[in-house]
Amino acid sequence: MREDGVYAAMVRRGMTRRTFLRFSAAMAAALSLPAAYGPRIAKALEAAPRVPVIWIRGQACGGNTEALLRAANPTAANLLLEVLSLDYHEELLAVAGADAASPLAGLASRYPNGYYAVLEGSFPTGAAGAYCLIGGRPAVDVAREVATGALLTLAVGSCAVDGGAPAAPGGITEAGGIGKVLTGGNFIALPGCPANPSNLAAVIVHQLVAKETMPTDLAHRPLAFYGNLIHNQCERRPHFEFGEFALEWGDQGAQRGWCLYKLGCKGPETMANCPDVRYGEKISWNVSSGVGCIGCHSPSFWGAMGPAYRRLPSPLPFLPNLTTDLVGGAMVAGIGGVAVAHGVGMTIRFKRYKAQDRRAKAKAAAEAASATETPPTAEPEAAAGTETAAAGTGER
């Protein structure tokens, strides 16, 4: 047993061997591993040192820090006192000012055995980075520096992954996430608005226990969390199959717990494990509480997945009424195909959205270049935002 390790810390706080094993079993469950992995996790934790973590916030609402505080397995108190050595986090540090920021200078010499970086929020590149400063330095520079030297960089929440809300259509700060502002590195992306507390805790413990990065998809998202469509795990799916839909908020269908597809649920196009891990220690998730998915785990969702209450468009443009008609009847055989087609539709739509966004930005840049007086915000950007939004609506 390592004296400075995680297990030692837990014992010092009065954790018994039995509680520790139970904790390990819970972790196995959180990582979707069979129960037999519990003892192995316990063994790995006994030897694991506390991990130094540098947590950098850019343009953040703080929701992902809140998600950390809601983690149950392990709890926030466990994480803060035992598992992590959170050397920098603006919301949680006991000191302030230069004394708080001291670890950011000389990372390599301070952490000879390495450290982990967590990024929360988006990082603006407009106005030379002045839209977001940390200790007077552009947050985007700080993020780059910290991520470059890290053993692993965890981008938590959609803003850190792809720019999120500040980078939504109409955004004026040229904000981006890891894909835009960082070049290379070892990443894990946990998109979601915010990331689910269970996934956040599980990623941290997995890293401690397995000492290797979770298997991810091409977008750096752990397959264990983002490998399955919400629609395929949803408890209301049988109602979808039988054509039983809520048609208005609070109507009979809503009260009976019917499918929310026609009220705009984006579950058929969103890959996430919300129906499984849920929120509030598995107490509920959006659909259980009566509201559709808004696709917040999907790429650039503020632009690509909205409007929130509009029914997903038909995935196959040459069959515009496909979903309504097929789904409306109880043609169970054809439905699997619809779900697959929605996956395809999602990809097509995301590509189309990206192309629009690029065109709008190019146009804005051209107009900005031609304008004589240029405040960094620029009217043309706003016009571009409107165009993107309008194009997005027209498509539906």
Partner 1 sequence: MVRTVIDPVTRAGSGLRVELDVAGGAISEAWVSGTMFRGLEATLKGRDARDAWLLADRICGTCSGVHALASVRAVEASLGVTIPANARLIRNLLGGTLMVRDHVLGFYQTEGPNWVDLKAAAGADANATAQLAKLQSDRAGSTPEAFKAVRDRLAVVTADGAPGAMGRGWWGHPAYRLSPEQNLLLAAHHFEALDWQRNLMRIHALMGGKDPHPQTYLVGGMAVAAPWGGPKGQTGRDHPKVPDRNAPDALSTEGLLLVEGILAATRSFIDQVYLPDVRVLAKVYGDWAAIGAGIGAYLSGGEFPVDTGEGAARFLPAGRLQAGRLLSPQPVDAKAIGETTVHAWYANPNGDAALDGPATGGATPVWPANLSLPLTTLEGAAKYTWIKAPRYDGLPMETGALARVLVATADGRQEIAASLGALLTDLGLTMEHLPGVLGRTLARAVEADVVSHQAATWLADLRTNLAAGDLAIADVTWWDPSSWKAETDGYSLGEGPRGTVGHWVGIRDGLITSYQVVDGSTWNASPRDDSGGRGPIEAALVGVALADPARPLEALRVIHSFAPCGGCASHVFRPTESTR
Scan residues 247-306 and list those touching ligand SF4 (CB under 6 A): 259-261, 265, 267-268, 287, 292-293
Angle at 180 between CA 176 and CA 183, to 5 degrees: 140
Radius of gyration of the chain (CA): 23
Which entry of partner 1, ligand SF4, none binds 198, CB below 5 to 8 A by partner kind? Answer: none
Give the position of tokens 């620029």: 378
Q: Is 319 in the site for partner 1 (CB under 8 A)?
A: no
Q: Which of 142, 234, 327, 360 binds ligand SF4 (CB under 6 A)?
A: 234
Scan residues 175-194 and list those touching partner 1 (CB under 8 A): 175, 193-194
Q: Which of 217, 235, 325, 395 binds partner 1 (CB under 8 A)?
A: 235
Closest contact distance (angstroms) between CB of 42 and ligand SF4 is 36
Scan residues 202-231 and list those touching partner 1 (CB under 8 A): none
Task: Say what angle helices 379-395 and 332-370 make with each other, to 10 degrees.
Answer: 160
Q: Which residues, at least 6 apart from 21, have a Cβ–Cβ distance to it below 8 Å?
A: 38, 39, 42
Q: Is 98 in the site for partner 1 (CB under 8 A)?
A: yes
DSSP line for 246-310: --STTSHHHHHT-B-GGGT--GGG-B--HHHHTBTTTTB-TTTTT-----TTSTTHHHHS--TTS
Give the position of tokens 């309008």: 390
Q: Nearest to residue 281, comparing CAs of 29, 62, 83?
A: 29
Q: What sign does the CA torsion over 329, 334, 339, 342 have?
A: negative
Question: Binding mask 329-368 vs partner 1 (x if CB under 8 A, - otherwise)?
Answer: ----------------------------------------
Nearer Cβ to partner 1, position 159 or 214? 159
Scan residues 153-172 and list those touching ligand SF4 (CB under 6 A): none
Instruction: List 222's β-bridge partners, or say none.
Output: 216
Q: Nearest to residue 272, comparing CAs of 231, 313, 216, 220?
A: 231
- Contacts with ligand SF4 by CB under 6 A: the residue count is 15
Looking at residue 118, its amino acid is V
Looking at 21-29, 138-146, 185-193, 227-235, which segment touches ligand SF4 (CB under 6 A)? 227-235
| Closest CB to ligand SF4: residue number | 267
Nearer Cβ to ligand SF4, position 236 or 349? 236
Q: How many CB atoms lie within 10 A of CB 90?
A: 17
Looking at 29-37, 232-240, 300-308, 341-349, which segment touches ligand SF4 (CB under 6 A)? 232-240
Q: Which of 41, 143, 165, 277 binds partner 1 (CB under 8 A)?
A: 165
Closest contact distance (angstroms) between CB of 45 and ligand SF4 is 36
Q: Is 28 in the site for partner 1 (CB under 8 A)?
A: no
Please say whether the beta carbons of 59 and 124 come within 8 A: yes
Closest contact distance (angstroms) between CB of 159 and ligand SF4 is 24
Please say whether the beta carbons of 127 and 138 come within 8 A: no
Q: Which of 285, 311, 338, 342 binds partner 1 (CB under 8 A)?
A: 285
Which residues of this chain interact with ligand SF4, rule CB under 6 A?
A: 230-231, 234, 236-237, 240, 259-261, 265, 267-268, 287, 292-293
